Amino acid sequence: MRADFWRKKRFVKLRGLVRRPLIFFILSLFLLFPSFFLYAQEDNQPCYGDAIIVGSIGEPITLVPILAADSASQDIVGLVFNGLLKYDKDINLVGDLAEDWEVSEDGLVITFYLRKGVKWQDGVPFTAEDVLFTYKKLVDPHTKTPYSGDFERIKKFEVIDDYTIKITYKQPFSPALASWTMPIMPSHLLKNEEDFKHFARHPVGTGPYRFIKWETGSKIVLEAYDEYFQGRPYIDRYIYYIIPDQSTLFLELKNRNLDYISLTPLQYQRQTNTEFFKKNFRKYRYLSFGYTYIGWNLNNPKFKDKRVRQAINYAIDKEEIIKGVLLGLGRVCTGPFVPNSWAYNPAVKPAEYNPEKARQLLALAGWKKKDKEGILLKGNERFEFTLLTNQGNVSRRKCAEIIQQKLREIGIKMHIKIVEWGCLLDLIERREFEAVLLGWGLSRDPDCYDIFHSSKTGPREFNFVSYKNKEVDRLLEEGRRVFSQSKRKEIYQKVHKLIYEDQPYTFLYVPDALPIIDARFRGIEPTINGIGYNFIKWWVPKDKQRFKR
Amino acid sequence: MLSYFLKRLFSLVPLLLGITFISFLIIHLAPGKPSYLKEMNPRISAEAQERLIRLYQLDKPILVQYIHWLKRVIKLDFGNSFADGRKVIVRIRERLPITLLINALSLFFILLFAFPVGIISSLKPNGVFDKCTTLFVFIGFSLPSFYLALLLMLLFGIKLGCLPISGIVSFNHSQLSSGERILDIAKHLILPVSVATFGGLAGFSRYVRANMIEVLKQDYIRTAYAQGIGRGRIVCKFALKNALLPLITILGLSVPGLLGGSVILESVFAIPGMGRLLYEATLSRDYPLIMGGVVIGAVLTLLGNLIADLCYAWADPRIRYQ
């Protein structure tokens, strides 16, 4: 941007020289120079200052990175801490606290070369000691962390020197790299703190923002960290307001008390197209990293038959669901990977809406006759089942209603049961369900071993539909062994195709993320990785800044 | 009187134990698991989940868990919240003042309006005033509070722009002088307190009205009229005093209500109060925090009852406890 500016100025100068007398030119240059300079600065040259006020429905539970499981906690943790690695705008892993890393030939040893000169927000230098400490805490049986799994695979953790770590795994495990996006905690502050109680509400990290205060139930305030190793963020303060009601959140935005919230599809399509919103806000829309699906209990004799699942896939019109539930703001899902993931297989085309084909497939599976009500029969058994989903999610409820009607058209009677989240998980854990309507939020790494591998069907494990396919098993294992992204891409694209073919889930849709941000913020560049990746580069022109220090 | 009071006070102990035991049982037997275990996240391995269950001591029999809990509570230690590991008492304490303030204010305004409305309506039951106020208070009673709240927010917050929409303090609260701070909080409280008051008017005004009608039919009121005593004096002195007696019980019962917040109002107005705290605790199965709320609620209900009974005896000479 700086280079552009100089080129522009030289051009002006040359033109003036040709057309105007020299004195006039010099005078005008003097007159124009400051205004040109200011103009250019306003438009292209990022400047410091101002605050961003983010509205959130949820409140963080804890700011200890290795304990933070909810998205609100991670919002804040992500600004205060850094991992060894991070995802860039194209969802490639790049160094964060690690400058570089090496994976041994056999994939067993990962060596991280840490960045030098990084300082914790209290001034103490960051070293390998901190990484070792974080690792030890993660695998300490007394730590209440949900994330120990990936780190239990480590055989040996060696600190070579202050800035080099050598980690040996029991087996090659390529998602290990992604696991090192785990934020690193300061050893010097936590060594003697038994249970993070103080730290949970007064975190100190290496990240772009320093924690200032947390007023329980209402807001969290962060401030730019001047010595951030990737350069101080432009926006001085980050204020996180907790407003647990979607309508109130929207009213506060409308009153311009908030700068950044996530819209619902209804708000995006119907309530934010006024002149007021166009003038004061910018809406963004990109595919999210998650999908909504129906999971079939494959131990249930009805759904054991692949043809039945395929028939249901043909009978459900996903486009209609997207139109009705998301008001068009989403895309049909074709498998366990979303379009923005590198593992996505574009060759897998979604099955068309074709009730006739559905009926044929059901007939092949033995569901031929119908009773008085028009419900399919196999022997004496009626095709009737209950779809479970969780309370409090309007889109899922609507979605279930559309599906209910579509299935009724081909002679399947579906009941809908909406239960509270905790109860739903209990029913799933006990496998007391026929079908569930749920969503997965995905990590950037495509490894979905825990969801689809046949060894993960035990209690508390996540292949709760009990999906078993030897070929998929083999591929998922290989995907974990291989480090090369191009090879993994091949593997996961195969997985994508096989799983869509098998239909252990009926994949429904990938919703769009719909953030809205005050128009004064510059530097926001949506990519397949959303908008948050370059937050520290967002800025506000001086004359538009609302909050002075 | 004192011995009666002490007897009642001691009888509260087994009652309280019973309440906590049954609540503890129900809460633990309800499906669902605490905090992290409720996340549907494939990164949380089965081993990690089991470890958390062990660390929360949820693998022990319920009776053992209850006794552990009881032992701590006797020392007035409610334990640590599962969600963030902070002390239950601290988490409750930081939510209490605002809830208490809003509830006390709305109770005050409810009484302020309910009394005149109830008394005047009772003078001419089914008269014009009675019918109008009945309609009005029942509109308040039946309007969903979140709907009314949103309408008021839209009107005063956005259209007129004279009142803040949500929260309890403004963005720049910390930079204000102490006088301005009080004004700032007061402004934030207008909408939530109004909505709570409007919703609660019906109950009290109808109680006052019903009691007054009952009392005004009594023989001694007729006698008073026969003696030629003025109407104003009869209503305010003879009738009202007696009509107030049953209200003591109702007021006694609203003591625990002072500390419990409304989840809906607190969510809509983004007020960090008790209602939201305990609601979220329930959803995340934060057992120690839920039990903390249960104990406080139980103690206040029992004490409220006791105090109401004592006040009753004090106010009504016909009642004497031995």
Q: What is the pLDDT of residues A516-534, one digit of tens each?
A: 999 999 999 999 999 999 9
Q: Which pair of tokens denotes residue A339?
A: 């379009």
pLDDT of A547: 85
Band of pLDDT at residue A11, cut at 50, 70 and 90: very low
> Alpha-carbon distance A246 to A264, whole Å?
9
Q: Does the beta carbon of A546 lie under 8 angstroms from any beta carbon of chain B? A: no
Q: Does the beta carbon of A2 lie under 8 angstroms from any beta carbon of chain B? A: no
CA torsion, ordered A457, B284, A207, A529, to nearest 10 deg:
50
For residue A242, which residues of chain B lie inside 8 Å, CB to CB? 270, 272
Within a domain: B280: no
**Strands A435-441 and A290-296, sheet pairing:** antiparallel
Sign of CA dihedral A495, A498, A504, A507: positive
**Strands A93-95 and A281-283, sheet pairing:** unpaired
> Alpha-carbon distance A447 to A177, whole Å?
12
Q: Please say if the pLDDT value at position A379 is more than 50.
A: yes
Q: Residues in chain B, how many?
A: 322
On whether the CB atoms of residues B220 and B275 are closer than 8 A, the answer is no
Which range, of A34-48, A76-90, A401-415, B92-106, averages the lowest pLDDT? A34-48
Annotate A424-480 with DSSP letters as a single string. HHHHHHTT--SEEEEEEEPPSS---HHHH-GGG-STT-S-TT----HHHHHHHHHHH
Q: Does the beta carbon of A392 lie under 8 angstroms from any beta carbon of chain B? A: no
For residue B165, which residues of chain A lie inside 8 Å, CB to CB? 248, 251-252, 255, 257
Q: Do A251 and B157 touch (CB under 8 A)?
A: yes
Q: Do B38 and A421 touch (CB under 8 A)?
A: yes
Within a domain: B19: no
> Alpha-carbon distance A220 to A51, whole Å?
13
Q: Please say if the pLDDT value at position B304 is more than 50.
A: yes
- Distance between A323 CA and the closest CA of chain B, angstroms: 27
Strand partners, A169: A154
- B238 against A366, higher pLDDT: A366
- Distance between B103 CA and the closest CA of chain A, angstroms: 18
> B residues 254-313 near A, CB within 8 Å?
266-273, 276-277, 283-285
Strand partners, A114: A98
Q: Which pair of tokens denotes residue B260?
A: 């419990």
Q: Which of B52, B270, B283 faces A245 most closely, judged by CB atoms?
A: B270
Band of pLDDT at residue A3, cut at 50, 70 and 90: very low
Q: What is the pLDDT of residues A402-423, one digit of tens each?
A: 999 999 999 999 999 999 888 8
Within a domain: B194: yes
The average pLDDT across A374-387 equals 92
Annotate B186-208 with DSSP letters as a single string. HHHHHHHHHHHHHHHHHHHHHHH
Within a domain: B147: yes
Measure the N-to-C terminal CA separation of chain A; round to a whole number of Å: 27
CATH number of B179's domain? 1.10.3720.10
Q: Do B36 and A144 touch (CB under 8 A)?
A: yes
Q: Which of A149, A440, A462 faces B48 most closely, judged by CB atoms?
A: A149
Band of pLDDT at residue A60, cut at 50, 70 and 90: very high
* Residue A18: burial class (beta carbons within 10 Å; 0-12, 13-18, 19+): exposed
- B3 against A219, higher pLDDT: A219
Q: Do A255 and B276 touch (CB under 8 A)?
A: no
Q: Does the beta carbon of B94 lie under 8 angstroms from any beta carbon of chain A? A: yes
| Secondary structure class of A228 (helix, strand, coil) | coil
pLDDT of A192: 83
- Distance between B142 CA and the closest CA of chain A, angstroms: 21
Q: Do B270 and A218 touch (CB under 8 A)?
A: yes
Q: Does the beta carbon of A69 lie under 8 angstroms from any beta carbon of chain B? A: yes
pLDDT of B82: 84
- Distance between A441 CA and the closest CA of chain B, angstroms: 8
CA neighbours within 13 Å on the CB side: how many for B18? 6
What residue segments make up the domains of chain A, in order of their start?
A: 82-201, 209-285+514-544, 290-512
Q: Do A69 and B158 touch (CB under 8 A)?
A: no
The average pLDDT across A287-306 equals 94
Band of pLDDT at residue B125, cut at 50, 70 and 90: confident
Q: Which of B40, B51, B167 faces A425 most closely, judged by CB atoms?
A: B40
Of chain A, the percentage scoring pLDDT greater than 90 comes to 78
> Alpha-carbon distance A193 to A488, whole Å?
41
Q: Does the beta carbon of A455 lie under 8 angstroms from any beta carbon of chain B? A: no
> A residues 234-253 near B, CB within 8 Å?
239, 241-245, 247-248, 251-252
* Residue A123: burial class (beta carbons within 10 Å; 0-12, 13-18, 19+): exposed
Q: Please say if the pLDDT value at position A8 is more than 50.
A: no
CA neighbours within 13 Å on the CB side: how many for B189? 19
Q: Please say if the pLDDT value at position A10 is more than 60.
A: no
- Residue B107's domain spans which residues? 96-267
On whether the CB atoms of residues A449 and A343 are closer than 8 A, the answer is no
Q: Does the beta carbon of A52 lie under 8 angstroms from any beta carbon of chain B? A: no
- Distance between A470 CA and the closest CA of chain B, angstroms: 21
Strand partners, A224: A209
For residue A197, which residues of chain B lie inside 8 Å, CB to CB? 85-86
Query: The domain at A290-512 falls in which architecture?
Result: Roll (3.10)
For residue A443, which residues of chain B lie inside 8 Å, CB to CB? 43
Q: Does the beta carbon of A146 lie under 8 angstroms from any beta carbon of chain B? A: yes
Q: What is the pLDDT of residues A323-357, one digit of tens each?
A: 999 999 999 999 999 999 999 999 999 999 999 99
Q: Which pair of tokens denotes residue A248?
A: 């109130």
For residue B144, which residues of chain A lie inside 8 Å, CB to CB? none
ipTM: 0.83
**Strands A209-215 and A164-169, sheet pairing:** unpaired
The average pLDDT across A427-454 equals 92
Number of independent structural domains in chain B: 1
For residue A244, which residues of chain B lie inside 8 Å, CB to CB? 266-267, 270, 276
> Alpha-carbon distance A535 to B125, whole Å?
66
Fold adopted by A82-201? Dipeptide-binding Protein; domain 1 (3.90.76)
Q: Rounded to two decimals, what is the model's pTM? A: 0.85
Q: Does the beta carbon of A193 lie under 8 angstroms from any beta carbon of chain B? A: no
Strand partners, A214: A220
Residue in chain A nearest B279 by alpha carbon? A244
Supply the mean pLDDT for chain B. Answer: 87
Q: Does the beta carbon of B171 lie under 8 angstroms from any beta carbon of chain A? A: yes
Q: Do B39 and A70 touch (CB under 8 A)?
A: yes
The secondary structure element, H or E, covering residue B92 is: helix B88-123
The average pLDDT across B216-236 equals 87
Which range, of A41-50, A314-323, A324-333, B259-268, averages the lowest pLDDT? A41-50
Q: Does the beta carbon of B84 lie under 8 angstroms from any beta carbon of chain A? A: yes
DSSP state of A65: T
- Distance between A312 CA and the closest CA of chain B, angstroms: 25
Q: Please say if the pLDDT value at position B85 is more than 60.
A: yes
> Alpha-carbon distance A382 to A127, whole Å?
65
Q: Do A149 and B276 touch (CB under 8 A)?
A: no
Q: Do A242 and B46 touch (CB under 8 A)?
A: no
Supply the mean pLDDT for chain A. Answer: 89
Band of pLDDT at residue A29, cut at 50, 70 and 90: very low
Q: Do A251 and B166 touch (CB under 8 A)?
A: yes
Within a domain: B251: yes
Q: Using alpha carbons only, what angle is made at residue A470 by residues A468 and A471, rounded to the nearest 5 degrees?
A: 120
Within a domain: B294: no
Within a domain: B184: yes
The average pLDDT across A264-280 equals 94
- Distance between A401 CA and the closest CA of chain B, angstroms: 24
Band of pLDDT at residue B150, cut at 50, 70 and 90: very high
Q: Extract the runs of DSSP E, i.e. beta strands, from B226-285.
A: none
The long-range contacts involving A483-487, CB below 8 angstroms and separated by at least 24 positions, are: A483/A103, A483/A107, A483/A172, A483/A174, A483/A177, A485/A342
The average pLDDT across B48-69 equals 86
Q: Does the beta carbon of B49 lie under 8 angstroms from any beta carbon of chain A? A: yes
Within a domain: B248: yes
CATH number belonging to domain A209-285+514-544: 3.40.190.10
Residue in chain B nearest A239 by alpha carbon? B171
